[in-house]
Amino acid sequence: MLDVFNGAMASTMRRIGLLGGMSWESTALYYRLVNEEVRERLGGFHSARLVLASVDFAEVEVMQVAGDWTAAGALLADEAAALERAGAECLVLCTNTMHRVADAIEAAVDIPLLHLADVTADAVRLAGLDRIALLGTRFTMEQPFYADRLRSHGIDVLVPEGDDRTLVHDVIYDELVLGVVREESRAAYVDVVRRLVERGAQGVVLGCTEIELLVGPDDVPVPVFATTRLHALAAVDFALS
């Protein structure tokens, strides 16, 4: 009977659209997590029904540095529309920073975008917390698009002080997006989190998908909200709902 149920679930599984490449290391993590979760829930040989668009991060990074978010939004909106044409029934933008252009993406498609900040906020509230630290790229930590989305859920957001923000950002772009994971950088991140906890943070949001390659729940003394995993599980929830 269970095999019949699982077969029925698989036959109605909705197709996930992954918009990634920013960086490809984190997109690979999304792909693995989504498929592992589908297999865990359905068993057997099941895997996710999905389509993937992977952009050239070098092009996007130039737009980020130049502050040309309009061009970046247009690029990702085109990719999102292509995913919809390919049969995607929801969109998962596999990057925290590029949620800066979520509005442009949503305007280009008729399928839902599973907004990463909303998914993260739900997990923070479910844990009973209302004051968290946010780590991410300089864009995510200093611009309001992400923190304000979290605040709209009743969550107070703390970001690192100036030098710590620079350290967190530089490790992401100089190491993690290149697949480099250094113990010295892990120790530096742990120190950054410690200072945020001293300021009152009850937990820490890893608001850049690559940070999960460096820091995990065993590294810091407060709950860790790994946005990639949370986002991937939300995508599976949607696909199997």
Based on the fold, state whether residues 6 and 94 are members of the same structural domain. yes
CA dist., res. 213 & res. 217, Å (int): 12
Cross-sheet strand order for the sheet of 90-93: 50-54, 16-20, 90-93
Based on the fold, state whether residues 204 and 148 are members of the same structural domain. yes
Q: pLDDT: is 212 or 35 the higher one?
A: 35
Based on the fold, state whether residues 36 and 103 are members of the same structural domain. yes
- Residue 213: its pLDDT value, please? 86
Q: Which of 4-8, 60-64, 90-94, 114-118 has the lowest mean pLDDT?
A: 4-8
CA dist., res. 112 & res. 120, Å (int): 17
Catalytic residues: 95, 208
In the structure encoding, which two tokens stand for residue 99, read together?
């949620």
Q: What is the mean pLDDT of the chain?
A: 93
Say if residues 61 and 71 touch (Cβ distance below 8 Å).
no
In the structure encoding, which two tokens stand for residue 47, read together?
């895997």
Q: How many distinct structural domains can be found in the chain?
A: 2
pTM assigned to the model: 0.88
pLDDT band, very low/low/confident/very high, at 7 (cuts 50, 70, 90) = low
Based on the fold, state whether residues 111 and 165 are members of the same structural domain. no
Based on the fold, state whether residues 108 and 121 are members of the same structural domain. no
pLDDT band, very low/low/confident/very high, at 25 (cuts 50, 70, 90) = confident
176 lies in which domain range? Answer: 116-226
Those residues whose C-beta lies under 8 Å from the C-beta of residue 65, and which sit 6 or more positions away, are none
Q: Which of 74-88, 144-158, 203-217 has the lowest mean pLDDT?
A: 203-217
